[in-house]
Chains A and B, each alone.
Chain A
Amino acid sequence: MANGETMEQGNEEAGVGEPLISVRDLVVGFGDRVILDHLSLDILRGEILGFVGTSGGGKSVLTRTILGLVPKRSGTVEVFGQDLDTLNEAQRSAVERRWGVLFQQGALFSSLTVKQNIQFPLRENLKLSQKLMDDIAYAKIEMVGLKCEAGEKLPSELSGGMIKRASLARALALDPEILFLDEPTSGLDPIGAGDFDELIRTLQQTLGLTVFMVTHDLDSLHTVCDRIAALADGKVIAQGPIETMMASTHPWLRAYFHGARARAVRSER
């Protein structure tokens, strides 16, 4: 159907590899506990970055800090080249329109149907006809692999996997440039998790997304992530493709990538 520019495939927007989000010297703590200790991390345009770390190590806290939901003690967070602290209301909400977030628990609005959930950001941000909003909502519902009928359902009527998909559809409502996923496949069965990984990959290629994915799933790390960053003791202790992780000598990384579960995953492939 399409011809035109040559040699392009998938996710190449102008300037692949430039940092879309860069976190510098970030310190976050609660009370006298420091959770993130001078952490620095870049998320590059067009990549799927997997973020691993111990449970309770501060992965969600980092995500929430980048999103501006948790106050930071020091350090800077630059999103699309702008420091969020220096922006005014209007500029901030312009930035917020350009990211989508899938929360760990889904965070669908419980009193709205799936379709209304997806249309909520559309209605608030754009002036569209009801027909177009319906079409968009159903297109997103189908894109994330749900049936159209799911659009009329309330969140309490959905299964765990459907909730994840529906919240993904809502996160994608405004065609964001970057997608934050907090443990998207936890709580799904391995097949469901595999499908979800596949879906993320497809969407990333289709929409040219950048994806920041907090995950524990060794399968996801192997199959979909372009790059992995590992968090320990409040810092990023290693980052790079999966091979770098496997080669690392850090004790936690060795245990993580060479433990019994990891060996099982590897022998399968």
Chain B
Amino acid sequence: MASASLLDISRSGDEVTAVGHGFWTSEHADVLEEAVASAARAHPRPSAARIDLADVERMDTFGALLLERLRRAWTQDGVEPRVVGLKRRYGVLLQEMSRTGHDPQPPARHREAMVERLGHNVVAIGRDSTALLNFVGATVAASLRMATRPRTFRFTSMVNQIDRVGLRAVPIIILITFLIGCILAQQGIFHFRRFGAEIYVVDMVGVLVLRELGVLIVSIMIAGRSGSAYTAELGSMRMREEVDALRVMGFDPVEILVIPRIYALIIALPLLTFIGSMSALIGGGLLAWLYGGIAPGVFMDRLKDAISIDHFLVGIIKAPFMAGVIGIVACMEGLRVGGSAESLGYHTTASVVKAIFLVIVMDGVFAMFFASIDM
């Protein structure tokens, strides 16, 4: 199409005439914008101006807006251009455009300086911690309230959650921990072999898996798998005002949504930890047999000597605490989601990152505690 000359400018004496052609529509808006700008620039301060649009075949908001821009440019220079030949049906459109926006100034967005951002972040961390404590408090309070009237406990909902976060996680947990067990044993055998001490790999795998790795791997997996799901579920319920709906019906969202989810995790995680640890031991045993030549019978005997019930308990005792942290962080972040999809993504990420961080910190604290009571 004749995008070459959407607008022709001619000058006779002191009068400038702009003649429009063709399609003044969105497709040609970029070219037309250029043409309008250069027309206004090339002929400033005419003593009379005329805009002839008889040859404009079609016009839409884009064309009308640019026409209005040309008109304003010349009007500012002190001459009101005459617009002629405009098809009647575009009259309303042009009027509409002449009423809108005299270069609205969007409010300037405030840019944060580095130091300012640092300060904000520190404050945010402080707020986060108090929010976490608040939420722990709300959860405990709700639990106590429910303990006095056990009928209000949503048992079905909890069983449903156990199915989702516990039962359905079993295959992936078994697979991952099995592989970790294999890798651990392979590394142990490879390095211990140089001292002829392959048999100690059984001690290493047994103690590490039962005390630390089993519960850590499972917690991190569950934080990623179920924590994120909790946050996303509660977050989208918040976005669609479902949480507010519960509240105005006189229900406590913590009791209905949060408690069953957290208790489901607290029940499921120790079980998953047990399953995961066993699977890792089997993986380690299998690899010790195939790669290190330690027969299953020998492995079992050695394992019996190497580990005690303490090692097992250390791992299992930690599991419900990890579950509590994951559940509380996930639900808290979920209930903090604002109105936008972006906020949902932000809080889901935050939920997983914070949960994993806290799980590892807690593990460190537990390690000190158990060391000091000689367990």
Assess A4 versus B88: contact at CB under 8 Å? Given A126-B27, A138-B104, A156-B339: yes
In the bound complex, CA of A154 to CA of B92 (Å):
31
A175 part of interface (Cβ distance < 8 Å): yes
Is the Cβ of B25 less than 8 Å from the Cβ of A139?
no
Is the Cβ of B30 less than 8 Å from the Cβ of A126?
yes
The stretch among A7-15, A210-218, A229-237, A240-248 that forms the contact with chain B is A7-15
Is the Cβ of B89 less than 8 Å from the Cβ of A143?
no
Residue of B30, B100, B239 ringed by the most chain A CB atoms within 10 A: B100
Render B338-361 as a binary contact track against A, CB cut-off 8 A, 1 for contact: 111111000000000000000000
Render A138-168 as a binary contact track against B, CB cut-off 8 A, 1 for contact: 1110110000110110111100000000000
Considering only CB atoms, which chain A residue lies closest to B340 in the complex?
A110
A128 part of interface (Cβ distance < 8 Å): yes
Render A175-211 as a binary contact track against B, CB cut-off 8 A, 1 for contact: 1000000000000000000000000001001111000
Q: Identify which of A126, A148, A175 contacts B101 (C-beta below 8 A).
A: A148
Count how many chain B residues have C-beta atoms less than 8 Å from C-beta atoms of the other chain: 42
The stretch among B59-67, B120-128, B287-295 that forms the contact with chain A is B59-67
In the bound complex, CA of A161 to CA of B338 (Å):
20
Is the Cβ of B86 less than 8 Å from the Cβ of A175?
no
Residue of B30, B84, B86, B101 ringed by the most chain A CB atoms within 10 A: B101
A260 part of interface (Cβ distance < 8 Å): no
Q: Which B85-109 residues sit within 8 Å CB-CB of chain A?
A: 85-97, 99-101, 104, 106-107
Assess A140 versus B61: contact at CB under 8 Å? Given A4-B54, A155-B339: yes
Is the Cβ of A8 less than 8 Å from the Cβ of B341?
no
Is the Cβ of A155 less than 8 Å from the Cβ of B101?
no
Is the Cβ of B107 less than 8 Å from the Cβ of A8?
no
Assess A175 versus B341: contact at CB under 8 Å? Given A2-B94, A8-B89, A9-B89: no
Return chain A residues, CB-CB under 8 Å to B96. Answer: 143, 206
Is the Cβ of A175 less than 8 Å from the Cβ of B26?
yes
A1 part of interface (Cβ distance < 8 Å): yes
Given contacts A1-B86, A4-B87, A207-B60, 16 further A-B contacts (CB under 8 A): A2-B88, A3-B84, A3-B85, A4-B85, A12-B89, A115-B106, A125-B26, A126-B29, A126-B30, A128-B33, A132-B33, A132-B66, A136-B61, A143-B100, A155-B339, A207-B93
- B-binding residues in A (CB < 8 A): 1-6, 8-13, 109-111, 115, 125-129, 132, 134-136, 138-140, 142-143, 148-149, 151-152, 154-157, 172, 174-175, 202, 205-208
